[in-house]
Structure 1
């Protein structure tokens, strides 16, 4: 099959992902605009030069004539127009309506468009009760602080929202933070003149300032003939309700008349809203409600993800501490001789590293090692390099290219030991790695042991990031998996297996691209225990470019998904297989698939937070999360006896490297869902691990006599 046929990777999903993120971001921004998230207390009345005399010295209801002049009208004597701002509110507006209905009083409600969209049924109730509804902008914006186009849009959006809620075409307008005519500034007048000239501006003769909650008697005294400003939203309005219940019957008994603004001035009944206006309002309502739902859902997702992440860190640290104590106790015992150890090295075009790999293996201080190098149809001189070394106890087996699993099975068949160490052809072992690696096999229940893989080329940002990932993620996870008895992966770079476990697992399968994960899962479900030995150290060459990293992690992630799917039935099993399914595969599904898939949405929410939420809160959350990561990394580095130097790159890793890994998961998930086939991507080696081939051995512990 040709290369083109094998590589059937989807491409359209990237455009869809970008489009989805843009739509999500636009929706969140719309929600931020509508709710004014984080802007509480920032809108204040505009101070400055007063408006023109015709406005500031006029009556409460003002009209802007075509020639630019302002005319105004006052209410008739002994007439009171109660007006309520900032609603509708699900708690206080119905309470106001109940008081007004009790005394058969009609009032004027100046409602916020965004609130109308949230509670259209309340606005409908206000209209059906015979009350009048005016506009109070869409987001309660301070009119004098925004350009004319913004105010015009706010007014139109509010009019559309009112129409969609069943209200008539609006004719009255009250700008937020306005009060009596004398308090009108030049900026507010100019905003009305340029942004909403076709509306009657309703100011107030008497501002009760009930929003300050000055006490019921003070509010009662402020309810007098004229236009009275009250509020039915924006806080606790219990004092307002109580004041209405006292003032209305008292003033009615004195012969005062309570009417709407339009009724007081004899204005004609406003016409019904056009159908097109209703549909526009309905569309904005749907968009607003959807955006609000998205913001709420993402808040929940982010909170849950953060909680799960912190819980994971806590569990990792606790189990790592337990594992560290166990491993320390194990290391204090003399190393046991466990018979011949066969090391199988599958190699394909590994000329850059194979000599260093073989020399590090045969030079190990364990007394009884054989090395079987399986050249899997290399096109370079991999096999020749090993043969020319002429090292004792080293054999080379040549075979046509059949893939790494086939090469491993070939080496296993041609080896003689009951314990086999499987090693990648680019890996360099520490001098005591083999002896350390096999020590857990003194326990007959152990079927496989994972060694400690370290990044050899850890210079530059990319190298340091991968070094931290290996130390923090891979090694902490392995410690945790051993305690939970559900280790899903023994890495191909350094791992040891009991021959009986290999036979029970049916050998190394080539059905997935992550043969090490698939093989380890098969060993686990066969009933064997898999552990981690941090003292068995091997250095491997990590990808040196972003392109190489992408290919490697793409293969790992896609192969892991294949292995999870292959062994999915273990979720319902009992015993060791059940632990693998419910603990190991469940963990991989949550932290290596589901959470990474949601990461782009969380990142979009983070950008939204920078724009609309409190910067201090966003910075505090990010700093706290990063601090927790740095602390965890420091502990992991200490456990691995590594230097703390790379820690400074961790914040950058969260910003750049993490996103790359998330995109890898998304690509792998899409590939799995569409049933695509992925080629084996081999990384070009440069021999970076050779620097450790002749390195000083770690502190040796005497080995017990072989006894033969």
Structure 2
């Protein structure tokens, strides 16, 4: 941001003042100035006016240097062995210091033309001092010299000095500068043609003159053409083209700068160049992230539509209906406020289930609450606190069935969730199924933002990844696995903080299919404070990075693992790690454009991006059959919520790059998410009976 502000400052996007004063009276201007020459010296409390001797011409060029026209002007001057004076602005000098360095090296003089080119009659003395010092700093940094020449912006002839510009000229003199106006104005900025420019710049009867031209501020090809005619023509008439002090026979207006002042100038030029380079790089990154955002939205829309058509077409099915009982594992650590709602929702399931609550060393009586409920088909397994992966592995060992559903202790299922979740196992190639996690506490602003994120960011993504057959994450809140698949990959791993992403990637590498069941809905309690949200997303981001790094070997694998490595890992890395890190550039350039301009185009561009996001969000809400009213907060989410996610991801990057370690952080729950209405709990006998098409009779049962 500092570099962008510096760029705006140097490009006259900050503090620019384009007002121009109209003519005023001349009562306070001395007659010797009004009737005198174009060189006005008010230094040391004295007022002197000087003219250029006959047959001497001083060419002056204002508003440069310009990267296109100044080199051409210098080439013509060099061709005809002529010198000139370039009155340069600080903004252009800072951006093109090499041209000012060339001017001095080739014997030309440079003068101040202020930093931002304002009409100084409108400015305070402090602003005038700032314009002079910054202009001087730029010249020092560019060429290592200091100049005593100054030309006011919008100046013309000596007799045009008035009661508003004269006090400025006197003050300029008190700061040690000689003011230089002009005798002849070529008016080349009007582009009257090379011949007319030559005519206007030609003095009469061998008189000396200071001629005004421009090497910047627009198309100056006529100036260059006129100069190439003008110089030899006037030289043939006996004129010499000198810089100002040569023409006046005075010491050079340029003095070398050494020491701290020189290094300050060089530091300034370095920072300006760095700001331009960085802005160009940021602009390239902005184009990249824009392309990534559009590509992601296009992929999500196209592939999500394909997924919806596939699963909703008549006759679609995974295979034989799965009706056998399922083991549901509920790892719980201090979930006293939520666990009863969770267990009751499972008891209302339309599919036969056994429930295994693994109490991971809770200190709030979570296990006691479950046992006190006295529900049939519900078992409690206690262990010392060892973390969620260990609790899940303990639950797997105690599960009675080959199909295992995993959920969080703060989540509730709909009556149909388990049934919908296990139907894909009718296809023997499917090793795991991701469900549809939804935010239950969406009434708060933070909850509504997360609701949008879950529906648009997570579930729309899962549809896309399902079609591409590279699902990166089975949500911990609602997922199902074959026991054999879990055993094949060694169970839940403690290597990362995102055990759900880790196990999903491991299943892909083992050659198993992971699919998405959109109708298997689970309602989870999302964080309700910024601190809690930060903790959760920090763990998710860092854990995802760990999982990507852990499974990076898939890039070189063959078969299904290689497919995931060369399709899934790059997409996850690009869309979940790299692109979100670059996405703040959109907001950064939005802020820059609103403050420094062009404001209208910036706002329109940002609204265009927001419109694309709104369209994708609306489509995702339609697929999930959600009410569109929550999308009202989408613009605010893009402005505030995304900034928090950016900083979280940045912190995760820093943690990863510095080798830091992040521990699990327990989120505080309120228990506000309740089980949806459903049928009465099943009879316990029914919960464990019925044909189990996928059960393995050789599975060992746990011993109490």
Please indicate, yes or no, whether the TM-score normalized by the shorter chain is above 0.5: yes
Give the corresponding residue for 2:201: 223
1:80-108 Cα shifts (integer Å, max 9, x gaps) = 22111122233322322332233332222
Distance 2:670 2:269 in 1: 60
Q: 1:431 Cα shift?
A: 1.4
Pick one of 455, 462, 469 that aligns with 2:439: 455
Aligned to 1:85: 62
CA offset digits 1:671-700 (Å, max 9, x no partner): 233333333211222212215254999xxx
| Separation in structure 1 between the aligned mates of residue 677 and residue 641 of structure 2, nearest angstrom | 29
The 8 Å contact of residues 50 and 56 in structure 1, kept in 2 or not, is answered as: no
The question of whether the paired residues in 1 share the 8 Å contact of 2:330 and 2:406 is answered with yes
What is the alpha-carbon distance in structure 1 between the residues aligned to residue 254 and residue 14 of structure 2? 38
Aligned to 2:326: 341
Residue 116 (structure 1) aligns with:
93
Residue 688 of structure 1 aligns to a residue whose secondary structure is coil
Contact preservation (8 Å) 2:436, 2:519: yes
What is the correspondence of 1:14-413 to structure 2 with a 5 Å cutoff?
Answer: 25-37=1-13, 43-50=18-25, 52-54=28-30, 55-67=33-45, 70-166=47-143, 168-184=145-161, 186-195=163-172, 197=174, 198-225=176-203, 226-270=209-253, 272-276=255-259, 277-329=261-313, 336-366=321-351, 368-413=352-397
* 2:702 paired residue number: none
More displaced stretch, 328-337 vs 551-560 = 328-337
Shift, 1:237, TM fit: 1.6
Partners in 1 of 2:43 and 2:652 — Cα distance?
65
> Could you say what secondary structure the match of 2:256 adopts?
coil
1:678 to 654, 662, 682: 662
Match of 2:521 in 1: 537
Gaps of 5+ in 2: 204-208, 682-689, 694-704
**CA distance 1:205–1:44, shift in 2 (3 Å):** farther
Inter-partner Cα distance in structure 2 for 1:259 and 1:460:
75
Shift of 1:114: 3.5
| Counterpart selection for 1:465 from 449, 462, 475 | 449
Q: Secondary structure at the match of 1:53?
A: coil
What's the CA shift for 1:65?
Answer: 4.5
SS in 1 for 2:493: coil
Aligned equivalents of 2:606 and 2:680: distance in 1? Answer: 41
Q: Distance in 2 between matches of 1:473 and 1:144?
A: 57
CA–CA distance in structure 2, aligned partners of residues 301 and 448 of structure 1: 37
How many pairs are equivalent? 674
Bigger mean CA offset, 385-394 vs 475-484: 385-394
SS of structure 1 residue aligned to 2:146: coil
- Cα distance in 2 for partners of 1:428, 1:405 equals 20
**Could you tell me how far apart the structure 1 residues matched to 2:270 and 2:360 are?**
61
SS at match of 1:686: coil
CA 1:602/1:172 → structure 2, altered by over 3 Å: closer, same or farther?
Answer: same
- The question of whether the paired residues in 2 share the 8 Å contact of 1:138 and 1:155 is answered with yes
Render the CA deviation track for 1:638-693: whole Å, top value 9, x for unaligned: 11100111111111112221111122222222223333333321122221221525
For residues 167 and 500 of structure 1, do their structure 2 counterparts lie closer, same or farther at Cα, with a shift above 3 Å needed?
A: closer
Deviates further, 182-191 or 92-101: 182-191
CA contact 2:421–2:517 (8 Å) conserved in 1:
yes
Q: Shift of the alpha carbon at 1:549? A: 1.3
Which residue of the partner structure matches residue 471 of structure 2?
487
CA contact (8 A) 2:57 2:240 kept: yes
**What is the CA distance between 1:312 and its match in structure 2?**
1.2
Query: More deviation in 199-208 or 581-590?
Result: 581-590
Other-structure match for 1:10? none
Structure-2 separation of matches of 1:427 and 1:331: 32
Distance 2:251 2:61 in 1: 21
Comparing 308-317 with 42-51, which one deviates more in the overlay? 42-51
User: Aligned pair in 2 of structure 1 residues 168, 526: CA closer, same or farther (>3 Å)?
Assistant: closer
Deviates more, 1:256-265 or 1:566-575: 256-265
In 2, Cα distance between equivalents of 1:647 and 1:695: 32
Question: Matched residue of 1:651: which SS?
Answer: helix
Q: 1:565 to 1:99 in 2, by over 3 A?
A: closer
Question: Is the CA contact 2:194–2:223 (under 8 Å) kept in the aligned structure 1?
Answer: yes
Contact 1:161 1:278 in 2 (8 A): no
> Which deviates more from structure 2 when the two are superposed, residues 514-523 or residues 605-614?
605-614
Unaligned regions of 5+ residues in structure 1, if any?
A: 1-24, 698-704
Q: Secondary structure at the match of 1:94?
A: helix
TM-score (norm 1): 0.89
Cα distance between partner residues in 2 of 1:378 and 1:295: 52
Does the Cα contact within 8 Å between 1:521 and 1:567 map onto a contact in 2?
yes
Equivalent-residue separation in structure 2 for 1:74 and 1:450 (angstroms) = 88
Q: Distance in 2 between matches of 1:691 and 1:108?
A: 83
- What is aligned with 1:7? none
Offset at 1:551? 1.7
Q: Judge which range, 320-329 or 110-119, deviates more.
A: 110-119
State whether residues 168 and 270 of structure 1, in contact with CA within 8 Å, keep that contact through their aligned partners in structure 2: no
SS of 1:557's equivalent? helix
Q: Structure 2 length as normaliser, TM-score?
A: 0.89
**Pairwise CA distance, 1:597:** 3.7
Larger mean CA deviation between 641-650 and 109-118 belongs to 109-118
Structure-1 separation of matches of 2:335 and 2:61: 80
Match of 1:18 in 2: none
How many angstroms apart in 1 are the aligned matches of 2:272 and 2:3?
A: 8
Cα pair distance change 1:132/1:669, threshold 3 Å: closer
Instruction: Provide Cα deviations, 1:240-269, integer angstroms capped at 9, x if missing partner.
Output: 121122223333333344333223333223
**Root mean square deviation, CA, Å:** 2.7
Asked whether the equivalents of residues 329 and 396 of structure 2 are also in contact (C-alpha less than 8 Å), the reply is: yes
Give 1:638's aligned residue: 622
Shift of residue 540, structure 1, vs aligned partner: 0.7
Structure 1 residues 103 and 566, CA gap change in structure 2 (3 angstroms): closer
Distance 1:331 1:399 in 2: 46
What do residues 458-501 of structure 1 show as CA deviations (whole Å, max 9, x unaligned)?
Answer: 11211101111111111111111112211111011110112221
Whether the 8 Å CA contact 1:489–1:517 is kept in 2: the answer is: yes
Q: Please tell me whether residue 500 in structure 1 is matched to residue 484 in structure 2.
A: yes
Give SS of 1:230's match. strand
Q: Deviations over 1:544-568 (max 9, x none)?
A: 2122212222222222222222212
DSSP 3-state at the match of 1:130? coil
Change (3 A) 1:188 1:598: farther
Residue 478 of structure 1: aligned partner: 462
Give yes or no for contact 2:101–2:143 (8 Å, CA) kept in 1.
yes
